[in-house]
Chains A and B, each alone.
Chain A
Amino acid sequence: MKIELEVNGAAVSAEVTPRMTLADCLRHELHLTGTHVGCEHGVCGACTVIVNGDAVRGCLMLAVQAQGAKVTTVEGLSLEEGLTPLQQAFKHHHALQCGFCTPGMLTTLHALLTDEPEASEERIRDVISGNICRCTGYVPIIEAAMDARASYQQSRGDK
Chain B
Amino acid sequence: MSRALLLPQVFKIKTIKRLTPDTLLYEVTDQDGNFDLSYRPGQFMEVSIFGSGECPISITSTPSRPQHIEFAVREVGLVSGAMHNLEPSEHIGLRGPFGNGFPIDALKGKDIFFIAGGIGLAPLRSLINYMLDHREDFGAIDIVYGARSPELLCFAEEFAAWQEAPDTRLHLTIDKETPGWQGKVGFVPAIVKELGLPPRDRAAIACGPPVMIKFTLLDLAALGYPDEDVITTLELKMKCGVGKCGRCNIGPIYVCREGPVFRLSELNRLPAEY
- Whether chain B is bound by chain A comes out as no
Chain B residues engaging chain A, CB cutoff 8 angstroms: none
Chain A residues engaging chain B, CB cutoff 8 angstroms: none
